Amino acid sequence: MTTAEWLDIGWVDQIPVRGSRTVQVEGGDDIAVFRTAEGKVFALLDRCPHKHGRLSQGIVHGGAVACPLHNWRISLSTGEALGEDKGCTPTVPAKIDGGRVLICRAGTLKAAA
Amino acid sequence: MEHRPLKPDADTREHLVVIGNGMAGCRAVEELLARDPSRYRVTIFGAEPRVNYNRIMLSPVLAGEKCFDDIVINGAAWYSDNGIALVAGDPVAAIDRAARTVTTRSGLSETYDRLLIATGSDPFIIPVPGKDLPGVIAFRDMDDVDTMLAAADAGGDAVVIGGGLLGLEAAHGLSLRGMKVTVIHLMPTLMERQLDEAAGWLLKNALEARGQTILTGADTAEIVGDAKVEGVKLKEGTLIPASLVVMAVGIRPSVALARDAGLAVGRGIQVDDHMVTSDPAVLAVGECVEHDGQVYGLVAPLWDMCRSLADGLVEAPTGYRGSVTSTKLKVSGIDVFSAGDFSGGDGCEDIVLRDASRGVYKRVIVKDDRIVGAVLYGDTADGNWYFDLLKRQEDVSDLRDLLIFGQAFAAGGGAADPKAAVAALSDDAEICGCNGVAKGQVVSCIAKGAHSLDAVRGTCKASASCGSCTGLVENLLALTLGDDVQSGPKTMCKCTSFGHDDVRREIVAQGMRSIPEVMQKLHWTTPDGCSSCRPALNYYLLCALPGDYVDDQQSRFVNERLHANIQKDGTYSVVPRMWGGLTNPTELRAIADVVEKYNAPMVKVTGGQRLDIFGIRKEDLPAVWADLNAVGMVSGHAYGKALRTVKTCVGSEWCRFGTQDSTGLGVKLERMSWGSWMPHKFKIAVSGCPRNCAEATIKDFGIVCVDSGYELHVGGNGGIHVRATDLLCKVATEQEAMDYCAAFIQLYREEARYLERTAPWIERAGIEHIKARIVDDAMGREALRARFLFSQSFSQDDPWAQRAEGAEAEHHAPMARFIPQGEIA
Ligand SMILES: Cc1cc2nc3c(=O)[nH]c(=O)nc-3n(C[C@H](O)[C@H](O)[C@H](O)COP(=O)(O)OP(=O)(O)OC[C@H]3O[C@@H](n4cnc5c(N)ncnc54)[C@H](O)[C@@H]3O)c2cc1C
Ligand code: HEM
Ligand code: SF4
Ligand code: FES
């Protein structure tokens, strides 16, 4: 249920396991919402800290996504680039409630702005 | 059941009324009696017509390992000895908080001073047509078990909907009782909330080996039948016959009574740390409550809750602080354990141990030197030890290297250094179980000059099969040689100690069929691989099992998932096939229309003799494809590790030098080989004479026509390191040229490593090897060609057509739109 704090973006099974879907934010950048093999959801700005690759299009493994453009690994929970690479993508708090995926309203606005 | 009089006249004690004669309700009373046996007069109402029993043992009762009497916790004597009045088989229908009374369905009314609600959970019934047919049941109480036993006596087919803990225990019991059981599970892996993909896969295999049919990723559309259940229909159309359907898709806290009585209810009845609801006279405990936002579906938290509740009731409040839970599956012979959080993430480190020969998978997740989760399959002996370390938040940095081997190892003899542990082994201690190699043999083989892992594998065979002893062998190398250890061949990626060729050989030799299976049998050190090994494994399986293997979309790079090339601005480029570089007005018109309709900023003639439309948005891809499909154009696979183009010159049809119909042959070659997946991209060209206008000698497979036939060239490459082709041979007829081409492609598909172009492959394997396989060995060539054409019979579906028709539409549309001032659309 959408509330002052949380945006309800749909059922969790609309996101493929080890995959991602996006949320368009009017007047801002897309948010990528990921679902891991273990069924957790994470939301990040859909923009790699390296050269703005679309993280929603990457390969998800463990708790990270590999950017489709140059294969940087980005942590889904902190948005930090892993390994040798340096950089960070804004994250948005996300959770599942009763099968629905909720993302934080304020976080979405801040990240997408 | 015999009822005691509800209110002995002389009794003036406070009256505690309990609703729910289940595990939490009775445990709370036990805890209370232990603290102060005489403080309250107690009455328990139970909906079930029986005494208090151990619900979790219903599974062994169903499986025939126990009978009802074995699982009774508190028999009739307990109630009478403690002066408890039991009203069984008559559920409470209403609570009147103002009057402090409860009323049962039969009309019996009782006043209370303190009320305890312990109504447990209701099974969730999915709202599909047919859910109310006789023969459709849940798995919650003894009545359900009786129904299942009666159905099993009649034999036949049973369907269990839900592959979680409960569903699998039901399926196991029914299957032991002789029914033919199918489990339908919505998610891709079993027990996904307790197990990771690797363990879920092992479990599925074990259950299938016991004769159950397990359908994952299967969604129920309806339950069919006239007067009673006859079968279950899936969304994709399959009908599974069934005389019994057990729904085990989840539970919901049973809150109706509390909500009607006006108590605060969220997901469950809301309670504080002392299990008190929004009305101080009313308490609640068990699965029906919500504490600190959490609801529970296991018994361990109930015990903690009951302790705090009883402390509160005797005015010595301690307070409940929530519980960490662990799970075990009660299916005899299958050991599964999980605890804590295993979703990984930042700062989390996975320690994975796999032992394929024993069917063991263990994974411990460590964060900041503390265990945060564990998943064990096949060997759960150390489950409680890990769970204990987890609950106590123990610092495990000292145990780190031996943690995964279990308590006996890690705690044993202070040998916290793995090298020291290996050094301490005796010479005849077995290192490699697969090949029966003892420590002494490995050490002597190292002493005789095997200075790398690969050399050890090659000489004494240790670690050459499943790889689970690789760590031990590496330690022995380090112990014996110190810094002189030579690094081995490149492994596939950091998830495995095996190279590409080893993995591929084992996939075929062991008949492996899925990515999780490969990872288990070859002891991957990560739970689900990485972006290097997943696509490679997906390709190797696809190549080994044409028509059979189900492609794992999430293991493909985005271009292959979206059938278009991602550009640096996140838009896509679309390249339709132009067979042999030929086109016509209809195709050109369709392309021109697409460019205008979707505002493509650029169209470019590629070096591969076709047109590339740039700047298409992901959302528009299906519509673009539909427009191109309408005039018969299909995907050019310009995005794939696959056949790209077949470049041709005009040849004998038009050119004064032409010796053969190079254009016609190019078209035939492209029609034969389009759509096949390969280790890397693959380009073909056909030139009509040695002037070679189609640049055939820098292609993966190039044909140069001459008067007497066709010269076949292989392994060319443009790019940074230009490499001219090697001449493979010369053939006389067009058909032979086609046959050799098919055989060559198949050899490349089977032997090259993933992401290896033909040029490096040929330099590695040697052109003589290729000649021996393709030119000298006629039967082998024919077999390769046949395998290629067989695999092609499955791969020439135009992926664009499927997407244009709406397949996997979700890949192209955002999940939601958010308009800040407005709402979610
Ligand atoms: C087959 C099976 C296997 C399980 N295996 C495990 C396991 O291995 N490990 C584990 O930790 N947990 C397991 N569980 C879960 C465990 O049984 C529950 O967590 C536990 O029983 C919950 O206790 P409870 O008292 O809250 O609810 P229950 O034990 O369900 O008790 C609630 C009682 O209240 C009664 N009731 C409901 N409404 C009314 C009313 N209006 N009036 C009167 N009475 C009412 C119900 O009939 C029921 O008897 C299993 C459950 C099942 C069904
Ligand atoms: C990974 C980096 C590369 C990308 C993303 C890329 C992408 C493309 C694309 C999209 C096309 C047009 C599609 C088509 O007509 O099939 C193309 C064509 C071509 N590319 Fe590349 N390319 C890459 C590397 C190379 C390399 C290394 C070479 C040299 C060997 C090369 C040589 C060509 C040639 C000759 C063509 C003409 C069309 C053809 O023969 O397929 N490309 N490339
Ligand atoms: S390769 Fe030979 S036949 Fe083909 S166009 Fe060039 S000159 Fe003509
Ligand atoms: S843009 Fe993501 S790795 Fe380069």
Nearest-angstrom CA–CA distance, B363 and B352: 5
Residue-level pLDDT at B317? 80
| Of residues A59, A63, A68, nearest to B555 (C-beta) | A59
On whether the CB atoms of residues B601 and B773 are closer than 8 A, the answer is no
Render pLDDT for B655-680 as a digit per residue (tens, 0 to 9). Answer: 989 999 999 999 999 999 999 999 99
Question: B460, B452, B514, B511: which is closest to B480 by C-alpha?
Answer: B452
Q: What percent of chain B has pLDDT over 90?
A: 51
Please state, as a whole number, how many other Cβ atoms lie within 10 Å of the Cβ of residue B316.
Answer: 10
Domain that holds residue B346: 326-416
pLDDT at B412 over 70: no
Q: Which residues of B touch A75 (CB under 8 A)?
A: 345-346
Give the confidence band of B1 by pLDDT, cuts at 50, 70, 90. very low
pLDDT score recorded for residue B245: 96
Question: If you take atom 3 of ligand 4, which residue's CA is the nearest one?
Answer: A70
Average pLDDT over residues B480-492: 74
The residue out of B416, B445, B473 marking a domain boundary is B416
B126, burial (CB in 10 Å: exposed 0-12, middle 13-18, buried 19+): middle
Q: What integer pLDDT is reported at residue B413 of this predicted model?
A: 44
Same-domain pairing of B20 and B109: yes
Output the domain CATH number for residue B35. 3.50.50.60
Q: Which of A15-19, B711-715, B719-723 has the lowest mean pLDDT?
A: B719-723
Distance of alpha carbon B772 from alpha carbon B738, whole angstroms: 18
Last residue of a domain, one of B585, B602, B635: B635
> Is the pLDDT at B226 greater than 70, yes or no?
yes
Pick from B183, B518, B295: nearest CA to B191: B183
CB contact under 8 A, B528 and A18: yes
| Contact check, Cβ <8 Å, A26/B823 | no
Band of pLDDT at residue B646, cut at 50, 70 and 90:
very high
Q: In what order do the strands lie in the sheet with A91-92?
A: A91-92, A41-45, A31-35, A19-25, B816-818
- The answer to the question of residue B804 being in a domain is no
> Is B657 in the same domain as B773?
yes
User: What band does B464 get if pLDDT is binned at 50, 70 and 90?
Assistant: low
Whether the per-residue pLDDT at B108 is higher than 90: the answer is yes
Q: Is residue B713's pLDDT more than 90?
A: yes
Are the CB atoms for B381 and B406 separated by under 8 Å?
A: yes
On the question of pLDDT at B821 being above 70, the answer is no
Q: Name which residue leads in pLDDT, B609 or B342.
A: B609
**What's the pLDDT score for residue B415?**
43
Residue B463 pLDDT greater than 80, yes or no: no
- Rg of chain B on CA atoms, in Å: 34
Among A9, A24, A75, A100, the residue to mutate for chain B (most B Cβ within 10 A): A24
Q: Do B192 and A38 touch (CB under 8 A)?
A: yes
Same domain assignment for residues B161 and B54: no
Q: Supply the pLDDT for residue B411.
A: 60
C-alpha distance across the termini of chain A, in Å: 24
Q: Do A16 and B554 touch (CB under 8 A)?
A: yes
Tell whether A95 lies on the interface with B, counting CB pairs under 8 A: no
- The H or E element containing residue A73 is strand A73-75
Burial class (CB in 10 A: 0-12, 13-18, 19+), B778: exposed
B427/A78 Cα distance (integer angstroms): 48
Residue that the structure tokens 């019991």 belong to: B173
pLDDT(B502) > 80: yes
Q: Say if strands A41-45 and A31-35 run parallel, antiparallel, or are unpaired.
A: antiparallel
- Would you say A108 and B818 are in contact if contact means Cβ atoms under 8 Å apart? yes
- What's the CA gap between B35 and A8, in Å, rounded? 47
In a domain, B128, yes or no: no
Task: Select A6-112's CATH number: 2.102.10.10, 3.40.50.2000, 3.60.10.10, 1.10.10.10.
Answer: 2.102.10.10
**What gap in Å lies between CA B158 and CA B242, rounded to an integer?**
5
Residue B463 lies in a domain: no
* Nearest residue of chain B to residue A19 (CA atoms): B554
The CATH number assigned to the domain holding B660 equals: 3.30.413.10
Report how far apart the first and last C-alpha atoms of chain B are (Å, whole number).
58
Tell me which of B343-352, B389-398, B569-578, B581-590 is least confident: B343-352
Q: Is there a single domain that holds both residue B195 and residue B265?
A: no
**Residue B208 belongs to some domain of the structure:** yes
CB–CB of B576/B539 below 8 Å?
no
Q: How confident is the model at residue B418 (pLDDT cuts 50, 70, 90)?
A: low
* CATH number for the domain that contains residue B565: 3.90.480.10
Position in ligand 1 atom list of the atom nearest CA B20: 34
Name the average pLDDT for chain B: 88
* Complete DSSP assignment for B438-482: EHHHHHHHHHTT--BHHHHHHHH-TTSSS-TTHHHHHHHHHHHHG
The Å distance, Cα B685 to ligand 2 centre, comes to 14
Cβ contacts of B534 on chain A, cutoff 8 Å: 59, 61
Q: Rounded to whole angstroms, how far apart are CA atoms B527 and B522?
A: 12
pLDDT category of residue B2 using cuts at 50, 70 and 90: very low
Probe residue for ligand 4, chosen from A47, A51, A59, A88 as the CB with the greatest number of ligand atoms within 8 Å: A51
**CB within 8 Å: A60 and B554:** yes
Return d(Cα B39, Cα B528) in angstroms, integer.
56
- From the CA of A67, give the closest atom in ligand 4: 2
What average pLDDT score do residues B608-621 get? 91
- Between B59-63, B97-101, B756-760, B812-816, the lowest mean confidence (pLDDT) is in B812-816
Q: Which residues in chain B are contacts of A57 at CB distance < 8 A?
A: 558, 561-562, 566, 570
Q: Which of B483, B423, B496, B492 is nearest to B451 (CA)?
A: B483
How close does chain A come to B779, measured CA to CA in Å? 41
Closest CA relative to residue B245, chosen from B336, B346, B161, B125? B161
Q: Where are the domains of chain A?
A: 6-112
**Residue of chain B minimizing CA distance to A113:** B820
**Residue B296 in contact with residue B287, Cβ under 8 Å?**
yes
Q: Which atom of ligand 1 is nearest to the CA of B24?
A: 25
Distance (Å) from CA A106 to ligand 4 centroid: 26
Question: For residues B822 and B230, what is the distance between their CA atoms, to the nearest angstrom?
Answer: 48
Amino acid at B520: Q
- Tell me whether strands B157-161 and B643-648 are parallel, antiparallel or unpaired: unpaired
Cβ neighbours of residue B656 closer than 8 Å, sequence gap 6 or more: none
How far does residue B184's CA lie from ligand 4's centre (Å)? 40
Task: Tell me the shortest Cα–Cα distance from A95 to chain B, in angstroms.
Answer: 13
B791 and B654 part of one domain = yes
Residue B340: per-residue pLDDT: 84
- B270 & B362 share domain: no
The Cα B319–Cα B484 span in angstroms is 60
Q: Say if residue B244 is in the same domain as residue B274.
A: no
Q: Which residues line ligand 1 (CB under 6 A)?
A: B 19-25, 45-48, 55-56, 58-59, 91-92, 118-120, 139-140, 166, 169, 254, 257, 286-288, 297-300, 302, 330
Number of domains in chain B: 5
pLDDT greater than 50 at residue B553: yes
Q: How confident is the model at residue B470 (pLDDT cuts 50, 70, 90)?
A: confident
- Say yes or no: B229 and B273 in one domain: no
Share of chain A above pLDDT 90, in %: 38
Confidence band (pLDDT; 50, 70, 90) for B414?
Answer: very low
| Mean pLDDT in residue range B13-34 | 94
Residue of A nearest to B529 (CA): A61
What is the rounded distance in angstroms from the CA atom of residue B353 to the CA atom of residue B18? 48
Q: Please indicate whether residue B24 or residue B467 has the higher confidence score (pLDDT).
A: B24
B383 is written with which tokens?
Answer: 């489950």
CB neighbours of A65 closer than 8 A, spacing ≥ 6?
A: A20, A34, A55, A58, A59, A73, A74, A76
Last residue of a domain, one of B270, B292, B313: B313
* Structure confidence by residue, pLDDT tens digits, B313-370: 888 888 888 877 888 777 777 888 888 877 666 677 888 888 777 778 888 888 888 9
Do B205 and B62 fall into the same domain? no
Contacts of B464 (CB under 8 A, 6+ apart): B432, B434, B435, B457, B458
- The pair of structure tokens assigned to A20 is 């991602």
A–B interface: beta-carbon pairs under 8 A: 128
- Do B766 and B650 belong to one domain? yes
Residue B86's nearest CA partner among B57, B138, B48, B60 is B48
Q: Is the CB of B514 under 6 A from ligand 3?
A: no
pLDDT for the residue B824: 59
Q: Which residues of chain B does A99 touch, with a Cβ-Cβ cutoff of 8 Å?
A: none
Q: Are A17 and B343 within 8 A, CB to CB?
A: no
Q: Is the domain of B678 the same as that of B721? A: yes
Nearest residue to B403 (alpha-carbon basis) of B365, B436, B361:
B365
Distance B690 CA to ligand 3 centre (A): 7
CA distance A67 to chain B (A): 9
- Which residue is it, tokens 């290297």? B401
Using the Cβ of A44 and the Cβ atoms of chain B, whether some distance falls under 8 Å is answered with no
Say which residues have a Cβ less than 8 Å from residue B513's Cβ, sequence separation at least 6. Answer: B541, B545, B548, B549
Ligand 1 mean position, distance from CA B152 (Å): 24
Please report whether residue B611 resides in a domain.
yes
Beta-bridge mates of residue B707: none
The mean per-residue pLDDT over the stretch B51-72 comes to 89
A61·B531 Cβ contact <8 A: yes
Render pLDDT for B266-277 as a digit per residue (tens, 0 to 9): 999 999 999 999
Q: What is the CB neighbour count within 10 angstroms for residue B421?
A: 19
Q: Are residues B202 and B184 in the same domain?
A: yes
> Rounded to whole angstroms, how far apart are CA atoms B697 and B705?
12
Minimal CA–CA distance to B745: which of B723, B728, B721?
B728
